[in-house]
Structure 1
Amino acid sequence: MADEHTSSFYDDNAATYASRQRTLPVRRLDAFLLMLPPGAAILDLGCGGGQDSAYMLSKGFDVTPIDGSPAIAKQAEAFLGRPVTVLRFEDLDEDEVFDGVWAEASLLHVPRANLPEVLERIRMALRPGGTFHATFKAGEAEGHDGFGRYYNYPSAELLSEMLSNGGWHNIVISEGDGTGYDGKPARWLAVRTQK
């Protein structure tokens, strides 16, 4: 579960955060969608303001957006014009319902110790052969940013080990430089793998 400071940040800054100028990760979205059948069922896990969900919906996919912050979910609902479920990652309890799970810059707030369990919940929610995408800020040790938000800051090696031990297949982890909401440079890890 995200710590109190992290949860408070999203609840207190929901409107600003959800409506910020953000470049859609179109290359990652398209690569993910190419791995799914047309009209596939997708879970947008930690949907934020809903922009990624809107893109996937526009491509004809059946998207279920969820977010752990009630205030952020309300913003996403207004943007998407459809319900957004409020659910924490640790409470995900679905069995082979989705063809794909999209977790762009959301699982990075899960405490490292809880990450294997959350990854297993995601794996259970996927149908056999389903595709999972996630991005993380890279690092060596857990920590907090200037806003007080918790980050698990994994290395590519740690993620690869967690996923392999969790029974995932075709694990691809790419690295790239970018920024986050705080505007500071960050090394990002993009993970794509299959059940």
Structure 2
Amino acid sequence: MPDPETLKFYADNAAQYVQHASRPAPQLVDFMARLPPGASVLELGTGNGRDAAAMLAAGFAVTPSDASPELAAEARARLGCPVRIMAFHELDDSEAYYGVWANACLLHAPRAELTGDLSLIHRALRPGGLLTASFKAGQGEGRDQFGRYYNYPDRATLQGHLLAAAQWASLDISESDGSGYDNRPTRWLWASARKAAP
């Protein structure tokens, strides 16, 4: 279940929040390059719709989603297409997408629920499908100065959740330095996992 305090932050600050981060992460280019042309993609945590816009412009069939109705409304206005209002645990698709893009959103999943959420994502992927997700690295659960909840995994913990969730054909976790809405230096973990093909 989504953290109520985190959802309240996005509800209260949606219009301001969507103004930050105008440029997609470099990892999005790699994600798109590893998918078939025009592939179906589920974006979790679309936020301001920035990454969905880039994928749509590249010709992908994108289903943007967000747990925050307020952020979904902002993204819908930007994209001109429906945005699915959905928390991670509500994902009920089966073998529907070639890709799942989850940039800076699963980091809000309660740590006790992360393995289950990743299992649902695995089920939603078509055989051979690709998940890319990013997390703020850390040593355990906590909140930022805005009151938002984070699961803050280290590399080993994140790998453990992914391996417990499903059997992946390949799994890679890389690290990069960057920032976020808080403008603080942040160590990011990027997980890329491929579902086995038949």
Q: Give the Cα separation in 2 of the matches to 1:163 and 1:88.
A: 19
Find the counterpart in structure 1 of residue 98 from structure 2: 99
What is the RMSD of the two structures over their aligned residues, measured on CA atoms?
A: 0.9
Query: Which string of whole-angstrom CA distances, capped at 9 and with x for unpartnered residues, describes residues 99-132 of structure 1?
Result: 0000000000001100010000000000011000
Instruction: Indicate whether 1:70 and 2:74 are aligned.
Output: no
Find the counterpart in structure 2 of residue 180 from structure 1: 180
Q: Residue 183 of structure 1 aligns to a residue in which SS?
A: coil
Aligned pairs for 1:108-187 within 5 A: 108-165=107-164, 166-187=166-187
One-letter amino acid of the structure 2 residue matched with residue 108 of structure 1: L
Query: Which string of whole-angstrom CA distances, capped at 9 and with x for unpartnered residues, describes residues 157-193 of structure 1?
Result: 1111221222123111111111111111111001111
Alpha carbons 2:177, 2:187 under 8 Å: kept? yes
Note the residue ranges of structure 1 that are not aligned, 5 or more in a row. none
Q: How many residues align?
A: 194
What's the CA shift for 1:35? Answer: 1.1
Instruction: Indicate whether 1:60 and 2:59 are aligned.
Output: yes
What's the CA shift for 1:24? Answer: 1.4
Alpha carbons 1:171, 1:193 under 8 Å: kept? yes
Q: Give the Cα separation in 2 of the matches to 1:21 and 1:81.
A: 20
Query: Which string of whole-angstrom CA distances, capped at 9 and with x for unpartnered residues, describes residues 73-124 of structure 1?
Result: 0000000011111011110000000000000000000011000100000000
Note the residue ranges of structure 2 that are not aligned, 5 or more in a row. none
Alpha carbons 1:2, 1:150 under 8 Å: kept? no
Alpha carbons 1:53, 1:63 under 8 Å: kept? yes
Q: Give the Cα separation in 1 of the matches to 2:142 and 2:72.
A: 25
What's the CA shift for 1:4? Answer: 1.3
What's the CA shift for 1:135? Answer: 0.2
Q: Residue 172 of structure 2 aligns to a residue in which SS?
A: strand
Q: Give the Cα separation in 1 of the matches to 2:92 and 2:18.
A: 26
